[in-house]
Structure 1
């Protein structure tokens, strides 16, 4: 613990550098990941030709979803490397893969030139993006947490929680700026490539910054004492006590957090554009303003979780989302540019951008509640030697699979039922289940000392079980 406290007291600038380098790099990776989805309505027809515009968008969203689905595989692969070799090395590798894959999308010829191979190559690049992102977040969150002093972990890790929203905000800003500079026609022809291509410069800058970082003090201690895990996968998922907390992290926290997150940010943008008929520019402005005003609440709720606990805030965010999504989207329909023909609670009023901004803002507040404390929560569940592997898998299943499938499941439900609000059933159902599991089975973690493996939540259960076994005449417990 001394090394962490010393860093906080004597090396405030060092801690700031750790947070800045980790957060800026992760933000850029999210930027790379999100421009793909943000441009769905603009360029889906350039790589897929299904015969209808909706079909092209579904094909594009399916490709977008592939990047989410493979994230758990990236979490396992790179999490293992991070627990074997180190946090710093691993997130440098993942950032390089993400940057090169995104740059390649900007250079990729369209279907007119390559035919169906264009779509196949695009899917391959999307898989690489998903694998890289699967390894990035766990490393960056763990790296920051392993530098922070006790009692402030929620606050400091909340800075990395802002990166996904800032990455989306940055992607919308670059897309909107490029479109305004080159014009609508040119943007549709070639300007859409610019957001992909500029990412290579952002990635290069972030790698340069991260190269100056040292390994986290807790992992360095494992290396110095030669206690690094020999098999992180086995220790994470073959150990029944640890596996129990992996499962609870998923079903009691991250899957609900994932669907609330993607509904409030990415899915809300899709609804604005495709269901409510808001223009590309206006929809990006609406989302951008809402994100701008809501982003500080990631840090607020991270700070608050150090005071009152992680669980209360995350569960409250899920509960509010479940009970208010229908009224919120009913109000959005009332303020759409044209009457969408379907209403809930509100009659059609007329186009009102500020009202739509406020309604998106409310949704992003829910995002900040479920997402602000979750990095600290996940870090505190698992011991240092298998932390990267153990926390990354439930996070990326919850966000990559349950959250990432929100748009395509939602569109499929809308198309099959003819009900515009049916797209909300998936996030509401998943968040409801997660809320119940979380309230019943997930424990508070804020007072866990992560420098001591025996006091992590997962190891506490194992030690308690071994003591009980010893008391009943089983094997003695090694203290």
Structure 2
């Protein structure tokens, strides 16, 4: 490979090998994504230790909401560090973001749980998660721009595609560690305290990452602008106060990034939660299946990045986004069929229906843990089914008629708690749950997925298919973002839409999807969130997103 020159004012050019630029930038970013994704992988354990003051369904949704909290602040991090990156430089900015990320992750490993310090535990956890989000808000733009500004003409898609693999590589690395710890420590020990080890290990990754990044020079494009006095003094004002640039920001957000984000988190994260929480696949097995699919799909980031240098960024991104939106429902139905065939058969053979007045049915989510969902017969019925992860549909009934649960042809009447004392109500609810569980058992609804009956090759094939479509929307994206905006405000301009899309649209996907499932009882209903957003994004992108792959980026 050719040598890239990084020129400082009054200094001789310093050669910097392209392979070193890609490797150093990518490896540091891999470790940063490793830190960020650990929380999502360990959400079940975090729910158990930090949100144990609420019911199980609510606790898991709150754990996912805390996961999303890190995404909430990503756009703010992009503004803060984007401005620093455009004024001070690319290299120093992502050194700071890396330090914030690593230390915040390390601290989670030592944080006492809810049983030890009460409500302070989830509050501190969310605060650390917010710091992580701020750091990631400044990291991605810096790494992508740094590599793109070193890349030769005609190879930006290829070069930046390696940065696009870092999120998946970070997820893969964290999965590998979690699987290894589970297998060596045993599930009980891992659930008790072993889940903290991956967070603690991050301190060593932080040291390695900072050392690697310190070996790099400044980006040649930024250094040239700095030497010539062309850097922006007010990048935020220039980026968003100018309609021409702001219009591009909005087109990128709603015509590319929002759809890429929701389909990305569907393919790589929601699939894992879906396997574990809805299909009830044993967590270690689910992790292995996801990891194998990631291994298959990851090279396609580079393939699509390379291809985008030949045919353009837009055709690849839009084609894969449309295919993702169209295939999500069939793919997840296939995932259900192959991942838990007994459940799939039971749903077809003996569907569960809750017959109740809609006015008496509460939304099955309680963020403060005060609602026990036992004040109406409908709530008693739905809270049990939601907690058991059973797919059900709703049928309205006349007001005052109470709730019934139909399991196929079997009818179980939910108790009416009105007028019952606490003890009598507890007995009635327990008897009702026993009757429903017996009906579910008779109908063939499994308590968990039978490992012997999981069709692993087909599950991996479905997962890999979803993930390959993700690589098509994401692989060429970094090059597209860099090429769209002028160099003097590039860091600020591209970081904000990227992190609004991935932080807000994508980051809330697991929480929103599971809340939608809990509210309706339909295990597929949560997919409407990514499908609708991806569909709208594809329409806007096809109509308004410009092609960029032949543009110059040094001005």
TM-score normalised per structure 1: 0.90
2:226 maps to 1:123: no
Q: How does 1:54-453 map to 2 (within 5 A)?
A: 54-337=57-340, 338-340=342-344, 341-342=346-347, 350-451=453-554, 453=555
On the 8 A contact 1:43/1:188 being kept in 2, the answer is no
Query: SS where residue 343 of structure 2 aligns?
Result: coil
Distance in 2 (alpha carbons) for counterparts of 1:258 and 1:50: 32
User: Are the counterparts in 2 of residues 334 and 343 from structure 1 also a CA contact under 8 Å?
Assistant: no
3-state DSSP of counterpart to 1:420: coil
Aligned equivalents of 1:385, 1:114: Cα separation in 2: 48
The answer on whether the counterparts of 2:16 and 2:217 sit within 8 Å (CA) in structure 1 is no
Indicate conservation of the 8 Å contact 2:293/2:467, yes or no. Answer: yes
CA contact (8 A) 2:300 2:468 kept: yes
CA distance in 2, matches of 1:5, 1:126: 38
Partner of residue 411, structure 2 = none
1:46 is displaced (CA, Å) by 0.6
**1:371 to 1:11, Cα distance in 2 relative to 1, 3 A:** farther
| CA drift at 1:76 | 0.6
In structure 2, distance between residues paired with 1:242 and 1:416: 40
The 3-state SS of whatever aligns with 2:524 is helix
Shift of 1:11: 9.5
Determine if contact 2:6/2:223 at 8 Å carries over to the other structure: no
1-side partners of 2:285 and 2:523: how far apart?
Answer: 21
Q: Distance in 1 between matches of 2:79 and 2:202?
A: 26
3-state secondary structure, aligned to 1:192:
helix
Q: Does the Cα contact within 8 Å between 2:4 and 2:15 map onto a contact in 1?
A: no
Q: Distance in 2 between matches of 1:367 and 1:23?
A: 19
- Structure 1 or 2: more helix by fraction: 1
Q: Could you tell me which residue of structure 1 aligns to residue 45 of structure 2?
A: 42
Would you say the 8 A contact 1:61–1:408 is kept in 2?
Answer: yes
Q: Closer, same or farther in 2 for the Cα pair 1:223/1:369, shift >3 Å?
A: same
What CA deviation, in whole Å up to 9, does each residue of 1:207-253 have, x standing for no partner? 00110111000000111011110000000000110000000010000
Q: What per-residue deviation string (whole Å, max 9, x for no partner) do you get for residues 147-175 of structure 1?
A: 01110000000000000001111111111
Larger fraction in strand: 2
Closer/same/farther in 2, CA of residues 4 and 107 from structure 1, 3 Å limit: same
CA displacement 1:434-472 (0-9 Å, x = unmatched):
000000001100010001x3xxxxxxxxxxxxxxxxxxx
The whole-number CA distance in structure 2 between the counterparts of 1:129 and 1:442 is 31
- Among 34, 46, 56, the alignment partner of 1:31 is 34
Structure with greater Cα Rg: 2
Q: CA deviation at 1:343?
A: 6.2
3-state SS, counterpart of residue 447 of structure 1: coil
Give RMSD over aligned pairs: 1.9
Aligned partners of 1:342 and 1:420 also within 8 Å: no
Query: Is the 8 Å Cα contact of residues 250 and 398 (structure 1) preserved in structure 2?
Result: yes
- Asked whether the 8 Å contact 2:516–2:526 carries over to 1, the reply is yes
- Using the alignment, how far apart are the partners of 1:191 and 1:12 within structure 2? 45
Cα distance in structure 2, aligned partners of 1:353 and 1:412: 28
SS at match of 1:335: helix
Distance 1:6 1:127, change over 3 A: closer
Change over 3 Å in CA distance of 1:294–1:13 after alignment to 2? farther
**Could you tell me how far apart the structure 2 residues matched to 1:252 and 1:43 are?**
35
TM-score by length of 2: 0.78
**CA displacement, residues 351-393 of structure 1 (integer Å, 9 cap, x when unaligned):** 2111111100000001100000000000000011100000000
What is the aligned residue count?
446
Instruction: Give the stretch that moved more between structures: 43-52 or 140-149.
Output: 43-52
Deviations 1:187-222 (A, max 9, x none): 111100000000110111010011011100000011
Determine the C-alpha separation between the residues in 2 that align with 1:207 and 1:144.
Answer: 17
| Cα drift, residue 51 of structure 1 | 3.2
Higher mean Cα deviation, 96-105 or 269-278? 269-278
Query: Which deviates the most, 360-369 or 350-359?
Result: 350-359
1:394 to partner: Cα distance: 0.4
Q: CA deviation at 1:49?
A: 2.5
Secondary structure, aligned partner of 1:107:
coil
Q: Which moved more, 1:180-189 or 1:389-398?
A: 180-189
Counterparts of 1:227 and 1:290, CA distance in 2: 46
Shift of the 343–194 alpha-carbon distance from structure 1 to 2, 3 Å rule, reads farther
> How far apart, CA to CA, are the structure 2 residues paired with 1:197 and 1:12?
36
